[in-house]
Structure 1
Amino acid sequence: MTEYLFNIVRASFNLINTASAWIVISYIIAGALHDLIPVEKLHKHLGNKSFSALFKVMVSGVILPICSCGTVPLGISMYYAGAYVGPVLCFMTATPVINPIALILSYGLLGRKITIIYFIIGLTFPVFIGWIANMTSGRELFYAPAYSEDGGFRSDMREDKRSVSEKLRSGFNWMINDFALVISKYVVTGMLMAGFIMVSFPSSLIQEYLGNPSALSLINIAVLATVMYVCAVGHIPFIAALIAAGASPGSAVTFLIAGASTNIAELLSIYRMIGKRSAVIYGVLVTVCAVFLGYITNLILLPDYEPQISIDRIDYSIKSANRLMIIFPKEVQYLCTGIILIFFIIAMYYKIMTWKEMRKA
């Protein structure tokens, strides 16, 4: 039992370590932009239900090679600054699902046909998620304190004569004393859950079942991929292995979409920071859409689909992707992991003290 728990903690630590640098960078960006970007401008571009707002965040998300955990702080900071929930979830979906590095690896490891389908899905799927979220959301459609009672800008947010340095200090103060504490609490909790899944259901076992398309339906694959934590590009070699083992192209596409677009840490953060309805809508939409898109892929490519694996193309694609990918030194990863864990410990300390005060009362 002790060894089992240790393995869960170790797996969780490795997951946090993988994403930690991007998470800390997103904290810094969120803090810097919190008071620096004029609220009116953010409201104008993202504080509405228009398709143009969804398209703008989709494009910005596509060009950022950040894993889903790195997009959570940025997306939630946008929401608290006045962006509607649709553009926020669109951004959270687009960023990890598709980016230049993922496309290069997909072409080299999965072939041209799947890459074309993947590219089309990556451009349309996030916009669809955002549109549905805008249409079905209730009170959590936008963060109410960012708006006045008539739905317009708050009068006290229209004019800010502070200097840039004062805005930066204010933003970083908010990030350190509020935002990073809350997000770190849910990121670490979610990673512990993901570590439990990895230890309880190791990749060798998952690959054994997913490698045989008759063993699990697309629904099982989508649910599994939705709760697992996978990197924005690290899941593509895993998918290539599934196809090589005999998985259908639809199974690969289902895992490609559901695995990258969400995980436990992200769902937990959405649930606690935005609302239960948004978390449920997002999780269900991702799962249903991943299954549907996988089914359509099978209709298009089967029964004549054959994995097109070229060693030369794979080697070239991996080298090209490595040139674009930012790989942080281990020391930086450990430092960022330490920062996140410190925020987590402080947040849990405050939570425990609050709970004790409530019991005394």
Structure 2
Amino acid sequence: MVNTILNIITACWDILLESSLFILFGFSIAGLLKAFIPNDFIQKHLGKGKMSSVFKASLFGVPIPLCSCGVIPAAAGLREQGASKGATASFLISTPETGVDSIAVTYALLDPVMTVIRPVAGFFTAFITGIGVNWLDKAPPVPESPKPMPFTMAASPSSCGCGCGAEKKEKKSIGMKLKEGMGFAFGNLLEDIGPWLLVGIGLAGVITVYISPHFIESYLGDGLFSMLIMIALSTPLYVCATASTPIAAALALKGLSPGAALVFLLAGPATNMATITVVSKLLGKKTMVIYLSAIVICSLMMGLLVNQIYGFLGFDITAWVQSQTHEHHGPVAILAAVTLLLLILKPLVKRLVVKSTHKGCSHC
């Protein structure tokens, strides 16, 4: 039992060493996006029901580092501003499916091919879903609110911490913008995603130790059935794009096909019970059915296509992941891993200290 626990911890540490530097880089880029993209930039470019608005919503969502939780209030703000159902649905899909942080960690834990395919597949899924929603559910758009709520990635006291509150416009220096952007990236954003990232790495460690290649080959091979299993597993669960990557990498190392791994990477972040409920209330039950159906169909299509691409290129994702896993990690990787762990654990420890202080206070 002790040996098994030590093996799991070792596997988790290896994954952390491999990915931490890329994760920190991804969050840094997220901070730059927050610092230099105006808060109302996205809303200005989303029209009412046109194909161009769906295209822009799908494209804008790709680099934005919002999870399945944070994208909901942001999408609600877009809808309130008069964005079409299709554009809102597209933004709800492409934003949590990809982000600069998840793209960076995809390169670290999977391979360059998947690093390119993942955001492209996320954009394609979002665009097709948005077009399908506008075509099949031709409800009149919501009229613009007289008091628009600008899109922002900064947290407010009434927000979920992922970015949904309004803020006053004021001129700021580049230094101030950088400070606020990095504060958001390594504060609110990391606090929101960090615990789930640790959960994902933990699950990846368990998979590495407990699941054998024979099990994957026997029950989750490279056919359509394995992709359907990935859809069934990922649809109801909450898993952000960054946290889903180490899980997919661990499964790929055991023999899961690239297509099935991609299906998990697409369907996992885009769907969960909270998102499904909100889509139903925000856009209607008909749109919710179209939303889910399009994600499932597009994910399966992209999964089958990716298997063909890997076969055509003669690229073995298992060999690439394995070579990455056994790579020697120097002091830079160790420093990055320790830094990332401290950044993630800091707010968690702070909460525990506050709770214990309140419990120990006789006047509370």
Aligned equivalent of 2:96, options 73, 77, 92:
92
- Aligned residue number for residue 166 of structure 1: 176
8 Å contact from structure 2 (residues 72, 275) kept in 1 = no
Q: Secondary structure at the match of 1:349?
A: helix
Alignment of 1:113-262 (within 5 A): 124-128=124-128, 150-153=147-150, 157=167, 159-211=169-221, 218-223=227-232, 229-230=244-245, 253=259, 255-261=260-266
Distance 1:222 1:89, change over 3 A: closer
8 Å contact from structure 1 (residues 185, 343) kept in 2 = no
8 Å contact from structure 2 (residues 93, 122) kept in 1 = no
8 Å contact from structure 2 (residues 59, 94) kept in 1 = no
- Aligned residue number for residue 8 of structure 1: 8
Q: Secondary structure at the match of 2:231?
A: helix
| Superimposed CA distance per residue, residues 242-273 of structure 1 (whole angstroms, 9 cap, x where no aligned partner) | 67xxxxxxxx74x143233255xx58xx98xx
| Superimposed CA distance per residue, residues 29-76 of structure 1 (whole angstroms, 9 cap, x where no aligned partner) | 2223324322122332369886545423644677x8xxxxxx756898
Alignment partners' CA distance in 1, 2:30 and 2:299: 35
Q: Secondary structure at the match of 1:39?
A: coil
What CA RMSD, in Å, does the superposition of the two structures yield over aligned residues?
5.6
Alignment partners' CA distance in 2, 1:356 and 1:149: 46
Aligned equivalent of 1:277, options 275, 278, 288:
275
How many residues align? The count is: 299
- Structure 1: which amino acid aligns with 2:9? V
Percent identity reads 18
Distance 1:75 1:163, change over 3 A: farther
Gap regions ≥5 residues in structure 2: 79-87, 135-144, 152-164, 281-288, 321-326
Alignment partners' CA distance in 2, 1:178 and 1:73: 11
- Structure 2: which amino acid aligns with 1:30? A
Alignment partners' CA distance in 2, 1:149 and 1:259: 41
Q: Using the TM superposition, give the Cα deviation of residue 342 of structure 1 relative to its aligned residue in structure 2, in angstroms.
A: 0.6
Q: Secondary structure at the match of 2:314?
A: helix
8 Å contact from structure 1 (residues 222, 287) kept in 2 = no
- Aligned residue number for residue 113 of structure 2: 102
Alignment partners' CA distance in 2, 1:130 and 1:149: 26
8 Å contact from structure 1 (residues 129, 285) kept in 2 = yes
8 Å contact from structure 2 (residues 12, 204) kept in 1 = yes
Whichever structure has more helix as a proportion of its residues is: 1
- Aligned residue number for residue 45 of structure 2: 45
Q: Using the TM superposition, give the Cα deviation of residue 14 of structure 1 relative to its aligned residue in structure 2, in angstroms.
A: 2.9
Alignment partners' CA distance in 2, 1:133 and 1:223: 23
TM-score by length of 2: 0.57
Gap regions ≥5 residues in structure 1: 65-70, 107-117, 135-147, 244-251, 322-327
Alignment partners' CA distance in 2, 1:103 and 1:217: 18
